[in-house]
Structure 1
Amino acid sequence: MKAVTLLLAVVAFGVQAHHDEHESHGHGAHEHGHGHLNLVLDGNQLMIELQAPAADLVGFEHAAKTDAEKAQYAKAMAQLKQPDALFRLDPAAGCTLTQQEINAAKEEHDHYHEHDKADADHDEHHHEDGHADMGAMYTYTCATPAKLTGLEATLFGVYPTLEKLSVQGILPAGQTAAELTPSANKLSW
């Protein structure tokens, strides 16, 4: 059941991202300073997917060449592996991180995305113009999911060039969508 729910969520998000591309400025989901957060709360599992331009998460979008760039890239990867610094969940819900998967910009050629989940359709946006997105998927298991009534996006402090986070979620009460910013970084449901 959980896999089906997540798959439906990813498909819904993919449709939304594709829809945005045709109505906005032709850059697709890729806009510097603008990240995307997808979340699914299913039973006691909370899945959070973060996607943002590599320019905001790393500081540049090309493959790391110099030692300084490689160090910066490694630091960015380490930050993505510390979701406690990126999101704050209500401690009363008792959520513990049970799985994480980092989707990094590729270092070798121009192929930026892994194909192990349903984001193959996003690739077309990132090849021609050299834009790269990075992201991560976090899965939490919550002891008391009913006490999970929102989240705080603390990642704006970690990534100062990130100005906006478009949130889409599938929750027991239905779908939610919001825009989070550094001054309005709390999502409630």
Structure 2
Amino acid sequence: MSVLLPSLGLPAWTCHYQELCASFKETLGLPDGFFEVSVKLSKCYCHTCHKHRGELLYGGLAYSSFHPQDKEHSSEAKQVLMSPTIKYAGSDLFCEKHKFTDVKNKKTYSVRVAFQVLVKPGCYTVTGENNGANQPIDPYFENREIRWNTKEKDSVVLSALLIKVD
């Protein structure tokens, strides 16, 4: 049974997948100021939580990033590779698996980490995938649309830390 919080429409149950992702996030040693620490602002995309909200991103957990008012930007221009689908960005081609042993249950898991970003429209180039996939990588996108890149790093803003635990 789940109970909904009236103001947010979020389930009040404890999600064990979210707890596991939080445990992994702690091992990264990221300062608390980088990402919101409130569970209410961290979205779980396990099948149960995702189905309840009906959103597209699925199979992981997103920690919202903290955006201070005054951002500093360096002038070095490097290309940023992005994808509108985590199925491509989180594939073996771009996202290496790491081993993680949970201190609570002593089980070892495979973990992938990616960033969710917001991109200024018109500041990126859309190209197709280049790993020779003949089948659709994601049913929501054509393979010719899933690889984006930009050299305008100021047009990309970090939105969330995505964690997938298998």
Q: Same fold (TM over 0.5)?
A: no
The structure with the greater share of residues assigned to strand is: 1
Shorter-chain TM-score category? under 0.3
The structure with the greater share of residues assigned to helix is: 1
Alignment TM-score, normalising by the size of structure 1: 0.25
Alignment TM-score, normalising by the size of structure 2: 0.27
Asked which structure has the greater CA Rg, the reply is: 2
